[in-house]
Each structure stands twice: as structure tokens, then as C-alpha cells.
Amino acid sequence: MKHTQASSPRAYSPSLDNLRNLLIIRGIALLGQTGVLAYVLLASRTTASLVGVTISLALLALLTIASLWRTTRPWPVADNEFLAQLMVDVLGWTSLMYFSGGASNPFVSYYIVPLVIAAAVLPWRHTWIIAGASLLAYSLLLYFYVPFPLFTPHAAMGHGDGTNVHILGMWFNFLFSAGLITYFVVRMASTLRLQDAQAVTQREDRLRDDQIMAVASLAAGTAHELGTPLSTMTVLVDEMLQDPDLPDQAQQDCELLKAQLTLCRSTLSELSRTAELSSAQHTRPVAAGDFARQTLERWAVRRPGVIYSFECAVNSPVLKLDPTMHQALENLLNNAADSGSQKIALSVHWTTREASIRVRDWGPGIRAELLEQLGKPIIHADKSGLGIGLMLTQASVQRHGGRIELRNLREGGTLATLTLPINTPEESSPQQ
């Protein structure tokens, strides 16, 4: 039996859906004008004044059909394309109005439709373009048009004096409505888009906090579970060292093993202590240079194969940090070392408001698609990491009012910048 593979459904695109809605609105308007055309044809039994209207309707219908076919393609809909479609509406409608009575045609108020759509969908400058084009077209139609029997029955001798108080009032009404829509609807649409962006950010923050809590709970449970086997191994090593018949080589191995077990117990104790201090929001003032240097020296003990350099001027500013910031900077150092770079440069720079700690490596850099996901709740990391560690780092830095920036350098390698706000002397003084 022959099986056919079903194609995966295409992802929903709001811009493409907006374009389809615009084309549907245009199609409804064209059907309305076609109805008017049919009514005139049946009532007057003449086609003398319908040639221009018919050609305009046909061209707009063809453009609409072509645009509907375009919506079946997987091409993204940019703002400029949407602007072009609205300009087609304005120009096409101007052609229809010109051949059907100009501003005296009651359908001239359709100009307000593309203006409202532009105000709700497009940026501010694009909306003003549509507003200007619609107002210009409406103004020209006050004086330049082909008389249409249904709407301009008294303009057979010419249309130069066709602008009366009623039509002029319609023009002023359109001008007033266009101004209000362009200003207030654009502001409201911008507010809604801003609220949507803030809601997305809040959802990502909640998701990241949930993941951080899960990781923290797992780390706390792991630390608790590792305490018992480490104690058992320490007791066994002590008993082996007390054996007088233990060979010298085995005794040296046991001494090394005991030192490593002591380091593991110390790391677990520090992990628990850091969690307690962080939960109590314990912070202390420390100079930016001292913080970076101490973290680098402590990290270098665990990565002896990496060559590092440190650069910092004297009198570095004071930062107010908690113990988690040491781990945050160590994560950046680990990422730099895991890239395969044989050397790492750490430098401290500052301005009057913030201090920046830069970690420079000479590795292959970070893939562009991964750079866009860094710091987000869900990161599809590659072999070099940059996953949960960087997410935790980002959370710690944001809690201190700072930020992390990563970028690939043209000369090769990656530059990671940890930026933190500088505390004033009043803020940095210890409380009594």
C-alpha cells in the first residue's frame, strides 16, 4: 500500500491574515460598485459613461485576485508590502470616483477604510502616508471628475462649479475624521502592541523563574543526597590511611582522594550557604575590580589548563552584590573556556553610572541563530553549552538591575559583557 506523507501545517502569521482581511474588504467594496454599475446600466440603458468605471473595476479585481494568490505563498508580509496594498486601494478608489462623479459620489467616504486599517496595523509614518494620499485624492476629486448621471444629474454643462456647500462639508468631515483616526487610533494601537510585548515578556520571565526554581530544587536535593556518600567515602579513606601496610603509592592516591573529597564537601557547603544568603537577599558592597579578580582566581584553580589575563584600573567603583554573582561571572568564564579557546582575557571598565566586566575568548564564536535565543526561558544549546547556565546568569544579573550582552568579533572569538549599576556611597555603606 502506498502511503503519502502529510504536509505539516503552516505556522499562523498575523500579518498574512491581516492582508487577507484587507483583500476581503476590497472585494466587498468592488461588489458594491459593481452593483451600482449594474443599476445605472439597467436604469439608463446606456454605456456611454461607464467605460472608465468598468476598466477601473476590472483592474482592481485583477489586482485583488493576484494578491489573493500571493497570500497562498509562504512569503512574509512586510510593512512596506501592506502599505503598497493600501496605496492600491487609495489609487484604485480614486480612479473609480473620478469616473463616477468625484466627491459627489457617496462612496467617496470609503477612503476612511484604508486609513483606519493603516492606523491599526502599520507604524505611525506609514499611516501618515495613507492619510496624506487619501486627503489629496479627496481634494482633487472636488474639482476633477467625470460627471455621473446617478450622482451629478445637473453637471451636464461642465463640472467646474459642482462644488457646493454639501460636498465641501463632506470634505471637511473627512479631514476631521482622518486627523482623529490618524492620531488617536495609532496611539491606541501602539499601546495595545506595547501591552502585548509586555505580556510576552512577563510570560517569558515567569517561565524562566519556574525553570530556575526547578533547577534550584534539583540542586538542593542533589547537594543533600551527595552529603551521605561523601561522608562514607571520607571515613573509608581515613581508615585506609591508618593502615600501616598501605603501599606508598596507594597512600599518595588516598591523600589526593581525601583532598578531592574535602573540596567536594566544601563546594556543597558553599552551595547551601549561597542559597540561604540569596533567599534572604543578602548583599554586600565590593569593588568591581576585586569582585572580578577574586572570581577569576577562584575559577582558574578549577581550570588550570586555560591561560588568562586580567586588566583593571585602580579605584574601581563599588557594586552591591550577593554571592550568586560570583557564579554568574564563572558561567561566562566557563562558556569562554568551553569554546576551545586556549586563553581568556578579563577586563573591567566603568562609567559614572555602570561597570562592565568583559570576558574575551578566541574560540569559533556563537552561531547567529543561537545568539537570538540567549537568555530566553527555552534555549536549544549546542555542544558548547550556553543553555541553562546562561539562563541562570541572565536571571541573576537582571535581579541586580544589570544586563548581559554577547557578540561575535570580526577578528574571531566572542566578547561577553556583564554590566551592573554602580552604587552611590550612601547605598554602598554597610548598615549598622
In tens, the pLDDT along 203-221 reads 766 766 666 666 666 666 6
Cell numbers representing residue 81 in the block: 508590502
Q: What is the pLDDT of residue 393?
A: 73
Q: What is the pLDDT of residue 223?
A: 65
Distance (Å, whole) CA 344 – CA 184: 53
CA 111 from chain center: how many Å? 33
Burial class (CB in 10 A: 0-12, 13-18, 19+), 314: exposed
Side chain identity at residue 5, one-letter code: Q
Using the structure block, give the residue that is written with the C-alpha cell 566586566.
357
Cell numbers representing residue 195 in the block: 501591552
Q: What phi and psi values does residue 220 have, to the nearest 5 degrees?
A: -65, -45
**Every domain of the chain and the residues it spans:** 14-163, 212-279, 284-428
In tens, the pLDDT along 291-304 reads 999 999 888 887 87
Cell numbers representing residue 37 in the block: 454599475
Q: What is the pLDDT of residue 233?
A: 85
- Which stretches of the chain drop beneath a pLDDT of 70? 1-13, 44-49, 149-169, 172-173, 176-177, 179-180, 182-192, 204-205, 207-224, 269-282, 369-392, 424-432
Q: What is the pLDDT of residue 391?
A: 67
Q: What is the pLDDT of residue 289?
A: 92
CB atoms within 10 A of CB 74: 8
Residue 245 DSSP SS3:
coil
In tens, the pLDDT along 126-177 reads 888 998 998 899 889 888 888 876 665 554 444 444 446 556 667 766 776 6
Instruction: Quote the pTM value.
Output: 0.47
In tens, the pLDDT along 359-382 reads 999 988 877 766 666 655 444 444
Q: What is the pLDDT of residue 35?
A: 83
Q: What is the pLDDT of residue 257?
A: 85
Distance (Å, whole) CA 125 – CA 188: 15
Assigned CATH class of 284-428:
alpha beta
Closest CA to 408 of 361, 354, 373: 361
Q: What is the pLDDT of residue 4?
A: 45
